[in-house]
Copies of this chain bind each other. A is one copy, B any other.
Amino acid sequence: MPPEPEVPMPPEPEVPMPPETPRLGYVGLGLMGGPMARRLLAAGYPLAVWNRDPTKLAPLVAAGAAAAGSAAEVARASDIVFTCLTDTAAVEAVVFGADGIAAGARAGSVLVDFSSMRPDSAAAFAARLRAEAGMGWIDAPVSGGVPGATNGTLAVMAGGEPAEFDRVAPVVAHLAGRFTLMGPNGAGQTTKLINQLIVGCGIAVMAEACQLAEDAGIDPARIPQALAGGRADSPILQQFLPRMAARDDQVQSRIAIMVKDLATVMDEARRLGSALPLTGLATELHRLMARRGLADADNAEYVRLFDAG
């Protein structure tokens, strides 16, 4: 990639994209973003990359990516820019901060943000980027974890303009088994919150099932097999009940993250006026377990709520 001027450039006029090979950019090459960027390179796309921690760049450059000096540089070189960042504050800094994506945005290009954040923040960021730089925004939080990112089987829940969704969909197809447009900007984030509501409550319910089985003298680890294929079946039953029964303490996803996600669900419910009795109770009980020293424990250890003290 040629050196770029350091000063932010005004939005360029829209350049028609070669439809078969858009130039791609990726910002945020962490546990999720790294494998996703690798898949885009493997699919043959030209890819510019930037990461706050530059040590993450080398393996991708070795795999054929062009290292940029800033997020703005990535944006200047790309028709579609992907981001996958920790939280709302990180997205705001990378997009609207100094040398951020907005500073290099090409009018008519599209940002696809895989980060999870509040729906209203996503909608506000999208409107601002469109107004300031003429760049489109698809909020596209993901489900499926590192295995999904590595294998290209993520479920991606999208919000944004249908025309922009359609433009990025052929590229996202290399990353996701499922890419669903749910509504305008923010709708992808809301759908992710609903996903977290279902999972967080499901874990809390499964822990109650585990306790009742144990108190009745039944091995909870046999229940998934007995209920497989029936109405009560689910990945949470199959994955969590045996781990809860074993008091498995291997950390796959932390209770602190669930507390954060459920708190965001409850914030959104307050904003909209929704009443969520079971979700509210599950949120407080997860918070209780975090407070009792299990913030960094795995979600399955929520079942310790019911252990004798």
Mark A263-282 against chain B: 1 for CB-CB distance below 8 A, else 0. Answer: 00100110011111111011
A257 on the B face (CB < 8 A)? no
Residues on B with beta carbons closer than 8 Å to the beta carbon of A285: 277-278
Considering only residues 109-166 of chain A, those with a C-beta below 8 Å from chain B are 119, 143-144, 155, 157
With A143-B231, A194-B213, A233-B234 in contact, do A201 and B278 touch (Cβ < 8 Å)?
yes
Mark A177-196 against chain B: 1 for CB-CB distance below 8 A, else 0. Answer: 11010111011001101110
Smallest Cβ distance from A147 to chain B, in angstroms?
A: 11
Contact A233 B232 (CB under 8 A): no
What residue of chain B has the Cβ atom nearest to residue A209's Cβ?
B194
A residues neighboring B (CB under 8 Å): 119, 143-144, 155, 157, 177-178, 180, 182-184, 186-187, 190-191, 193-195, 197-199, 201-202, 204-206, 208-209, 211-213, 215-219, 222-223, 225-237, 239, 265, 268-269, 272-279, 281-282, 285, 306
Of the A-B pairs whose beta carbons lie under 8 Å apart in the complex, a sample of 24, sorted by A's number, is A119-B216, A143-B230, A143-B231, A143-B232, A177-B229, A178-B225, A178-B228, A180-B222, A180-B226, A182-B226, A184-B217, A190-B213, A190-B218, A198-B209, A198-B227, A208-B277, A212-B265, A212-B268, A212-B269, A212-B276, A215-B269, A231-B239, A234-B234, A274-B306
11 additional contacts (CB under 8 A) given A143-B227, A182-B218: A119-B216, A143-B231, A155-B229, A187-B218, A191-B218, A208-B279, A212-B276, A216-B272, A231-B239, A234-B235, A234-B236
